[in-house]
Amino acid sequence: MTLSIALRGDTARHPGNTLPTLRSAWRSGTDLVKVDVHLSRDDYPVLADDRLVATPGAAPRPVDEMSLAELAAARQDVENRVPTLMEVLAEFRAQDVPNLLVEAAEPRAALAADTLLRERGLADQLVFTGPYQTLDALRRRSGRARLLMPWEQSGPPPDDVVRALRPDFLGIHHSLLTRELITEMRGSGFAVAAWAANEFTEMARLVEMGVDAVATERVGDLVPITRGNREEPQVEPA
């Protein structure tokens, strides 16, 4: 079975990395939602598409230069505010494991998110992704951390990288994937996640090849494909 990954939520309907877009993606039945975690100036893990957040009447500022209070007031639409990771986790019952793929560009943000998860009894149950330094920090903290390593080359990663990180998944751009490459990566012990596939025909091709996961911005199209419906949805006339 191919897992579906919603990049930043259901962004066809809502702004990415907000509570409404995450809820919409979860309602669609996606297996994982990839969220982008950064640290506020006062060290709260928050969700934002990139490191800059615009405030009304002011130029965009880096997330790490803004306090949690400033981030909370940054958007006039309260529903689409910058949420904390704690708010996202609060969407789940205490015994449920959030179906999140957490991306952190910096080790400090990843470790802060991991600490929060451990405090909630969710140690090593979520999947993390990010650059090598981020994944290395997580692996050093826990030998059981679940990691998805971005990889944009035509062959398996070097042995020293594999030994250091021991990733569960390789995240590879969909355009690079062939049936032969998927077989080679699996033979090396990796599950393969196809990244940024947004066209229906490409999603269907990847699922037909048996890729382990597909990440998309069009989760409403992807979920039916992963569940066996390969018929392209009809566009309603304007």
pLDDT (tens digit per residue) in 144-198? 999 999 998 878 899 999 999 999 999 999 999 999 999 999 998 999 999 999 9
- β-pair partners for 215: 5
DSSP 58-96: S--EEGGGS-HHHHHTS-S-GGGS--BHHHHHTTS-TTS
- pLDDT tens digit sequence for 17-63: 999 999 999 999 999 999 999 999 999 999 998 777 777 777 888 99
Give rounded-to-5 percent helix, strand, coil for the chain: 35, 20, 45
Provide the phi-psi class of 216: left if phi over 0, else alpha when psi is between -120 and 50, else beta: beta
The residue written with tokens 């962004």 in the block is 11
Assign domain 3-50+86-226 one CATH number from 3.20.20.190, 1.25.40.10, 3.20.20.140, 3.40.50.300.
3.20.20.190
For the chain, the domains span 3-50+86-226
Give residue 233's pLDDT. 60
Place of tokens 């998860």: 117
Reported as a single tens digit per residue, the pLDDT across 113-146 is: 999 999 999 999 999 999 999 999 999 999 999 9
pLDDT at 90: 95
